[in-house]
Amino acid sequence: MLYIFVNIEINLGHFIDVLKANFEKHKKLALVSTIQFVPCLQSVKKELNDEGYNILIPQVKPLSPGEILGCTSPKLQEDVDAVIYLGDGRFHLESVMIQNPSLVAYQYDPYSKKFTHEEYDFDLMTRKRKEAVEIAQKCHVFGLIQGSLGRQGNPRIVEDLERKLQASGKKFVRVLLSEITPQKLSSFTDIDCWVQVACPRLSIDWGVNFKKPLLTPYELVTVLQYVPFRTDSYPMDYYANESLGPWTNNHETHRTCRPKRNHITVVASQT
């Protein structure tokens, strides 16, 4: 598969001026963005740090430095004063706010050139997700949805969840769906609880619209008591190398073990 990075040029001068006007030099600021604007972050960091500012660009591997996804964001250190998202829309920004619920967050929209203070009701989200988990703890028949849209539905995650359900004595059925809607799931009357291996944000953002619990893989393993459900943090590590467990895509248990190559030393031949 060929992966081509796309870089979109924007007016960096205005973005830099906005940061200078709103933050003092001693403030420690983290810059994040979506992949098309990631190269811009390095330019902003260099110019501001050269002037005495304290700018960092966090990374959660295997993503690029500064890159975030709607389901994957870095956990920032407590001494960071604010995180600033360069991009339009809130979907990706909400990911880093969920991962860092106590951190002040701002957004700079490169198209409208608006700079805004953004908030996310983390307590409401975790309360709603905990309610779904508590209902699921009383369920007996689970529907495991393997998303078939693009590369969302990782079969290794599905298989890991199936083993955990089987070990817990739960009944389950695997369903392949390209689109997950309340209307489609309502036709499965024998399912007590759904677990979708597609996009965690579908459950987080829209789970309340489904009649039966629609869990993420992480939430299922809390139901099965492999890890506790915490109301003070919620992991955004779905594609991170360093994640909580094999219910995420790039956990070490899913990586292909390649044999190490012997070290070859090239010595110049003498004639």
Q: Of 67, 83, 118, which closes a domain?
A: 118
What pLDDT band is residue 10 in, cutting at 50, 70 and 90? confident
Report the phi/psi class of residue 242: left, alpha or beta, with left for phi > 0 and alpha for psi in -120 to 50: beta
At 176, which CATH number?
3.40.50.11860
Q: Over the stretch 62-106, which tens digit does the pLDDT of each residue have?
A: 999 999 999 999 999 999 999 999 999 999 999 999 999 999 999
At 59, which CATH number?
3.40.50.11850
User: What's the token pair of residue 31?
Assistant: 């810059």
Q: Comparing C-alpha atoms, which of 198, 199, 229, 245 is closest to residue 131?
A: 229
In a domain, 268, yes or no: no
Domain region containing 169: 123-254
In a domain, 91, yes or no: yes
- Same domain as 151, residue 100: no
- Same domain as 159, residue 80: no
- Residue 6 predicted with pLDDT over 70: no
In total, how many domains does the chain have?
2
- Same domain as 186, residue 220: yes
- Same domain as 227, residue 153: yes
Q: What is the pTM of this model?
A: 0.89
